[in-house]
Amino acid sequence: MADVQSLRAFGVARSTVKGNPLTPEEIKQYNDYFKASCYLALGMIYLRENPLLREPLKKEHLKARLLGHFGSAPGQIFTYMHFNRLIKKYDLDAYFVSGPGHGAPAVLSQSYLEGVYTEVYPDKSQDAEGLQRFFKYFSFPGGVGSHATPETPGSIHEGGELGYSLSHAFGSVYDYPDLIALTMVGDGEAETGPLATAWHSNKFLNPITDGAVLPVLHLNGYKINNPTILARVPHEELEALFHGYGWTPYFVEGDDIDTMHQAMAATLEHCVNEIRRYQKEARESGKATRPLWPMIVLRTPKGWTAPRKVDGNYLGGFWRAHQVPITDPNTNLEHLKILENWMRSYEPDRLFDESGKPIASLTALPPTGNRRMSANPVTNGGLLRKPLHLPDFKKYGVAVEHPGAVMDASMQKLGVFLRDVVARNPRNFRLFGPDETESNKLAAVYQAGKKVWMAEYFEEDENGGNLAPAGRVMEMLSEHTCEGWLEGYILSGRHGLLNSYEPFIHIIDSMVNQHCKWLEKCLEVEWRVRIASLNILLTSVVWRQDHNGFTHQDPGFLDVVANKSPEVVRIYLPPDGNCLLSVMDHCLRSSNYVNVVVSDKQEHLQYLDMDAAIAHCTKGIGIWPKFCTDIGQEPDLIMASCGDISTHESLAAIDLLLQHFPELKIRYVNVVDLFKLIHPSEHPHGLSDNEWISLFTADTPIIFNFHSYPWMVHRLTYKRPGNHNIHVRGYKEKGNIDTPLELAIRNQTDRFSLAIDAIDRMPHLHNKGAAARQAMLNAQIEARNEAFENGMDPEYLTKWTWKRDGQ
Amino acid sequence: MADVQSLRAFGVARSTVKGNPLTPEEIKQYNDYFKASCYLALGMIYLRENPLLREPLKKEHLKARLLGHFGSAPGQIFTYMHFNRLIKKYDLDAYFVSGPGHGAPAVLSQSYLEGVYTEVYPDKSQDAEGLQRFFKYFSFPGGVGSHATPETPGSIHEGGELGYSLSHAFGSVYDYPDLIALTMVGDGEAETGPLATAWHSNKFLNPITDGAVLPVLHLNGYKINNPTILARVPHEELEALFHGYGWTPYFVEGDDIDTMHQAMAATLEHCVNEIRRYQKEARESGKATRPLWPMIVLRTPKGWTAPRKVDGNYLGGFWRAHQVPITDPNTNLEHLKILENWMRSYEPDRLFDESGKPIASLTALPPTGNRRMSANPVTNGGLLRKPLHLPDFKKYGVAVEHPGAVMDASMQKLGVFLRDVVARNPRNFRLFGPDETESNKLAAVYQAGKKVWMAEYFEEDENGGNLAPAGRVMEMLSEHTCEGWLEGYILSGRHGLLNSYEPFIHIIDSMVNQHCKWLEKCLEVEWRVRIASLNILLTSVVWRQDHNGFTHQDPGFLDVVANKSPEVVRIYLPPDGNCLLSVMDHCLRSSNYVNVVVSDKQEHLQYLDMDAAIAHCTKGIGIWPKFCTDIGQEPDLIMASCGDISTHESLAAIDLLLQHFPELKIRYVNVVDLFKLIHPSEHPHGLSDNEWISLFTADTPIIFNFHSYPWMVHRLTYKRPGNHNIHVRGYKEKGNIDTPLELAIRNQTDRFSLAIDAIDRMPHLHNKGAAARQAMLNAQIEARNEAFENGMDPEYLTKWTWKRDGQ
């Protein structure tokens, strides 16, 4: 049994680091600052009027609907403000990440006291009137949220969905060697999977080229209605856990304010000195080692400084302090009085002057200018963003003399291009991926930048390991961590790309959702400068995951992305290598989007030379005359496709149809930019209906072969003229260990099925149609049998190329 | 710097537990078993003919396409077979979870040697012919996959997507006090977030009522192309990490086979004895404590027993052994010879008899009957599944004398029902949720079963903590862990329900995808018996997450689910409390589905008495005559809705319209079962087109108010007659800190917008329509201003009820 008393957050400070760095005068100053901050936190939650309690508190002064969270605020404030001392003392470049949920009262209070909030939002001035507005608009309609939303100066981490504080923090300090991300990790958040593995990010941090993350695990003991795991395990387990994660944990525990001030001040200073020492040693010696970086475990009561009990029920130091600590002062006069007494215990009368401005000794305490954490430009990354130095992508292309008759590996060409992107942007671009970059055929990048690796090396790593302490590629088998790093990297002003197997990108659906939401809100925040787009390259796609089976077949990430705001999402499915290069160049130049690019990694037919590819990608959708027989005439049939493998089969189907019906007028339309399909009222990329008709007509059967689930195309085109003519094929969740042909047949996306679909929609072909249909069915069965027999598809299918002369 | 040599997987065994439990004869037997198993693993990857190498190996004997993964197989086999000894010695009830990716060669080899595979698939007989088929159909078209797919006897964990082995294992042992889940955790898998936090599951395992998980972390050192983190940190960090997670780690490291046999045998036995001792102590004393349960770190080379180098490049003990270890024996004769020699080193001539059957000393080694791990009935959970004892849900309903004029809290009623489900099924049902059960208004369940908590207790837990070692509710702030537990619990034959905030269910999109895929494949596996459905209750929904802001607003999980196979997915949006009860009763009785139920947790208008609710839910969709004015006539307008809040606004819109146009013939249609909307060719629940027309006609304007993203309805109805008449409103990603009204207005789902939409589609209303439209706009603005002023919506909106007499 553990000594349970040692796990309590009460009493005189217990700490690993001893020392009393603060003078009594400083303790007084910090305590005033702490009180003023806590007052602000509570004011945000409760007050609509009477912001400084200059009158007795009445229920009319309260917000009608009480919202907001107090629980983690005092501990976060405590950490933030004590770090200010060190920023000033050592001229640190630092910012704050608020991991616990609903941390806004903490960080907003700090930004307000630093004066940054007023600079950014002048109507929230440092006086009674401004304070009243500051309070009122917290968690109020039309106001700001209870998380560290984009409206919050100093925030790059909202914390609405929990689990990403550490990975964001690490992403932000890569390639910023002087930056320290002071990162508050909630003990609830710490139970999430993404957070639990993100501690290992220290194996990917180079003390020479990167900055540092100083995590402060905030053991305030409770989540919404439950204790937290880490607050309820013996000290030795907790210490071992963080040692095991590769950190040196320092403990600061208790609730006695004066001794806690000393303990926290001493501990933070020790940690900063450790960080600086490790960095100095590495930088002076040129040897990048992995020290056991310092981290802090801060154990304080939930809702620290709140009344311990109300009506005999525990409040402070219990989960009831999580949200609005006293819920009914609007209707319970006794509780109103308790609230008033509590708020007055923070001495607003003394700590704000006549005008309502915080007194001079408070405003003198934080650093100044951009050293104020809520003003650090890294938290408005667009300010620091420099465009990438991009090589001319046209030079990396595939020579396509005969469209549709050349095989090449699109992804490998992209790999070479990315290699040179890495080389030209040695501090401004990283490639991220969960152990799949080589499998995804992008290994050329290692020539310019190896994989970052700060754990131990073995001799055989020299034999193709591609590891280096100062690499440029980040690989850890955690999509969550890779995505979190990338988000942190671009939010702080740099550029990057995540590559992933298509099926497993669903692991980070939720993270991408949240990033989209962040980006969209940023558009409404005037002072936020646009950041680089989040680029996601999906490969190892559904149609070539036949050998890995059903679990590896899921192209539905596009559905998740397409639900997000049209202002921020873009989806591209380049049909070949030159289009892939053109699209990727565009994405790397863009800002404030989530760009999703889907491309297979295997060898593929190439259709467009570079000029044609650029023209096609610029339009995003278009007719490919080379593969059409309707030029200058009304088409009998439109074959359309979106996706590289889908395009291959669509064109093969056209070829099949023309073998049987050489006179058929077929139009082929290729879609690169998926949102071209949607009505322009719903996405800025949408074609006008006139443009739509010029491509698809309003009355011709359309056989649309789609890379992903077919319903997506219906969802995009439901408003289009002639939408009932669109017959869509795509992945219908029919998967297994199959050959590519078999997988396609089961989902009816193979050439035979597509050609048959077309015949079925052209009743004017009559008997000749029926005969051709049967012939195609026979050919399909024959190919299928051959594939089953050999365990692989017949060559005449996989090596099929377009051999027709120009039509 | 670490002593790197201590991190190598080579040499004589190094182990925590000393001892030599095996006789020389046993070592020989286990080594034969190991060789035969490794031979099988390699045979699966390479051989199409000549399964016992009775002829010299020729390329004609090889599969044309080489697929499969050898890397982790030897270590997994080694663990599995040494556990067999203990099953026999102690008559253990155990099964095996294969966490590392592509673990099928390991578990298939064991099932084959145990004879189970042949019992289940008689054509894969234990002779040369059966062996040839066993080899050929591995990772071959129409055959079985390279993961532990549903076709694999003994598997409840496929391992296609990594990270869930531990949570599945824990889920399976809850309430099975005698069961041991021997769980191999891959060191790649261990880097994922879900796995990294699942180690904490030991804080939720009761040694009296639950079985045990014995994790074996397999440090084989490499992923696809990278070293693993845990294999490259100093021993002391690794040991500390697992101690910190609350385990006692035992190490077995090396590659010298004889000493490794002794070390593994001794270590496994020690762990089993520790488990039994802890269980005995707890069960005899009645005191449920949390011991530091044993776990094993097994460090062996990747592709253990493979050649160390080929052509001077590292293979064994390096990442090149991950997949097909020698990739080109089809074309490189020298490599073919290396492969042959390697395979012959496993002595197939000696270990299989004349007929091709494994020799008697091999088949005598495993346990027999259901003690064979691949035959344990727990791995075919449907065999063990007993129906829930369900109370009569009708008794928990809401009295609805006046439809639409009664307010009640649907979710609280459900909470009382679930309380009694818990009470009546004390070993067969658990409720799961990430710290939100109380917030989701289901706290009544705690009266029947508290929250399982095996970490430390504080005195204040007595004051509303609802914690107990033997609870029935599982809450950890990890959606991944909760979902993994639930999956393991139902896969092993029990029942359960996960409750979650709607927005954050996206965190487990990928897990639910994978579970759907598992269920769908099970339908094709004859011997798999149907298991209980995976029930997911989503609440704290988008329309009442206004105060939590944009991050908490995402109803898109339905889009992810709707992409899965129609055979296994069901989506319900009950409009009120009685419907919620009826739907939930249905879901709890169902099997082999993923049921998603969406319902708000706040007070709501109630529309249907219990009989009407049952009738409505049974149909899944229907006209509500009480709210219609078209009875017996052709409607001018159809108002439809799906979702409780959506229904409230739809009905309020009808009321508004009737205020202005009392003569209007309005039909109201409510949708509970979302898949009623889709064409029956695409989902078995789909209405026929005739049924569709009887509800929606083919030519009437339809204003459809949907709970989730509106495009879903278009995707479902694109084939429907008159689909161009459907005007859908839903969440369009317009969110913020707003009041419910403001949020609805921004997404045009409020009553005013809906009524205006309707007017806009009825041009025959002429000027009167225009005037009504303006009046509604004015009323909307007025309500909006009032809400902004007060910070909450006007009562006449929130408390709106249906006051009309029966029409």
Q: pLDDT (tens digit, 9 = 90+) per residue, B225-267? A: 999 999 999 999 999 999 999 999 999 999 999 999 999 999 9
Could you tell me if A724 and A714 are in contact, meaning their C-beta atoms sit under 8 angstroms apart? no
Structure tokens that stand for B69 in this block? 């993964």
Taking Cα atoms as reference points, which of B540, B521, B543 lies closest to residue B531?
Answer: B521
Give the CA distances from residue A453 to residues A176, A210, B227, in Å, rounded to whole numbers and listed in that order. 18, 13, 9
Could you tell me if A193 and B197 are in contact, meaning their C-beta atoms sit under 8 angstroms apart? yes
What is the C-alpha to C-alpha distance for residues A639 and A642, in angstroms, rounded to an integer?
11
- What was the pLDDT predicted at A311? 94
Half-sphere exposure of A286 (CA within 13 A, CB side): 0
SS3 for A291-341 is: CCEEEEEEECCCCCCCCCEECCEECCCCHHHCCCCCCCCCCCHHHHHHHHH
- What was the pLDDT predicted at A805? 72
Confidence bin at B632 (pLDDT 50/70/90): confident
Cβ partners under 8 Å of residue A692, min gap 6? A720, A721
Contact state of A556 with B48 under an 8 Å Cβ cutoff: no
Q: Which position has the token pair 């709970």?
A: B707
Contact state of B314 with A460 under an 8 Å Cβ cutoff: yes
Phi, psi of B500 (to 5 degrees): -150, 150
Give the orientation angle of helix B257-285 with respect to helix B24-46, to 10 degrees: 100
- What was the pLDDT predicted at B701? 97
- What was the pLDDT predicted at A89? 98
| Closest CB to B510 among A4, A504, A715 | A504
Does position A737 have pLDDT exceeding 90, yes or no? no
3-class DSSP assignment, residue A671 = strand
- What was the pLDDT predicted at B381? 98
Does position B37 have pLDDT exceeding 70, yes or no? yes
- What was the pLDDT predicted at A372? 98
| Closest CB to B715 among A194, A481, A711 | A711
Looking at A125-211, which runs of residues are DSSP E strands? 179-186
Contact state of B517 with A551 under an 8 Å Cβ cutoff: yes
Give the CA distances from residue B460 to residues A313, A315, A582, in Å, rounded to whole numbers and listed in that order. 9, 10, 62
Q: pLDDT (tens digit, 9 = 90+) per residue, B341-371? A: 999 999 999 999 999 999 999 999 999 999 9
Could you tell me if A453 and A403 are in contact, meaning their C-beta atoms sit under 8 angstroms apart? no
Mean pLDDT of A524-545: 96
In chain A the domains, ranked by start, together with CATH numbers, are 4-368 (3.40.50.970), 393-493+500-604 (3.40.50.970), 620-798 (3.40.50.920)
Cβ partners under 8 Å of residue A659, min gap 6? none
| Average pLDDT along chain B | 96
- What was the pLDDT predicted at B785? 93
Could you tell me if A302 and B458 are in contact, meaning their C-beta atoms sit under 8 angstroms apart? no
Q: pLDDT (tens digit, 9 = 90+) per residue, A372-428? A: 999 999 999 999 999 999 999 999 999 999 999 999 999 999 999 999 999 999 999
Contact state of B241 with A237 under an 8 Å Cβ cutoff: no
Contact state of B737 with A142 under an 8 Å Cβ cutoff: yes
For chain A, what percent of residues have pLDDT higher than 90?
Answer: 95
Residue to test with chain A: of B462, B737, B738, most A Cβ within 10 A: B737
Give the CA distances from residue B63 to residues A790, B54, B139, in Å, rounded to whole numbers and listed in that order. 8, 17, 10
Rg (CA), chain A: 30
Q: pLDDT (tens digit, 9 = 90+) per residue, A6-38? A: 899 999 999 999 999 999 999 999 999 999 999
Roughly how many angstroms between the first and final C-alpha of chain A, as a whole number?
83
Residues forming beta bridges with residue B591, ordered by sequence position: B532
Does position A2 have pLDDT exceeding 80, yes or no? no
Nearest-CA distance B30 → chain A (Å): 31
For chain A, what percent of residues have pLDDT higher than 70?
Answer: 100
Mean pLDDT of B20-29: 97
- What was the pLDDT predicted at A101? 86
Does position A687 have pLDDT exceeding 90, yes or no? yes
- What was the pLDDT predicted at B807? 47
Residue to test with chain A: of B478, B520, B553, B707, most A Cβ within 10 A: B478
User: Of the given ranges (B129-138, B596-605, B789-798), which has the lowest mean pLDDT?
Assistant: B789-798
* Complex ipTM tops 0.95: yes
Chain B nearest-CA residue for A221? B458
Q: Which position has the token pair 């969110």?
A: B735
Mean pLDDT of A329-348: 97
What is the C-alpha to C-alpha distance for residues B555 and B504, in angstroms, rounded to an integer?
9
- What was the pLDDT predicted at A806? 54
What is the C-alpha to C-alpha distance for residues B510 and B506, in angstroms, rounded to an integer?
8
Residues of B in contact with A521 (CB under 8 A): 550, 736
Cα A521 from chain centre: 14
| Closest CB to A550 among B314, B318, B521 | B521
Give the orientation angle of helix B766-790 with respect to helix B644-660, to 10 degrees: 130
Residues of B in contact with A287 (CB under 8 A): none
Nearest-CA distance A731 → chain B (Å): 9
Rg (CA), chain B: 30
Could you tell me if B187 and A436 are in contact, meaning their C-beta atoms sit under 8 angstroms apart? no
CA-based diameter of chain A, in Å? Answer: 100
- What was the pLDDT predicted at A807? 47
Q: How many CB atoms lie within 10 A of CB A722?
A: 17
CB pairs under 8 A between A and B: 394
Residues of B in contact with A158 (CB under 8 A): 551
Contact state of B513 with A506 under an 8 Å Cβ cutoff: yes
Chain B nearest-CA residue for A518? B551
Q: How many CB atoms lie within 10 A of CB A23?
A: 9
Q: pLDDT (tens digit, 9 = 90+) per residue, B394-429? A: 999 999 999 999 999 999 999 999 999 999 999 999
What is the C-alpha to C-alpha distance for residues A169 and A508, in angstroms, rounded to an integer?
18
Nearest-CA distance A193 → chain B (Å): 4
Mean pLDDT of A198-219: 98
Q: Which position has the token pair 């201003």?
A: B785
Cα A387 from chain centre: 20
Exposed/middle/buried for residue B285 (C-beta within 10 Å: 0-12, 13-18, 19+): exposed
Does position A599 have pLDDT exceeding 60, yes or no? yes
- What was the pLDDT predicted at B789? 87
Exposed/middle/buried for residue A100 (C-beta within 10 Å: 0-12, 13-18, 19+): buried
Contact state of B193 with A139 under an 8 Å Cβ cutoff: no
- What was the pLDDT predicted at B499? 97
Does position A76 have pLDDT exceeding 60, yes or no? yes
What is the C-alpha to C-alpha distance for residues A158 and B85, in angstroms, rounded to an integer?
53
Contact state of B556 with A560 under an 8 Å Cβ cutoff: yes
Structure tokens that stand for B118 in this block? 């042949």
Could you tell me if B607 and B577 are in contact, meaning their C-beta atoms sit under 8 angstroms apart? no
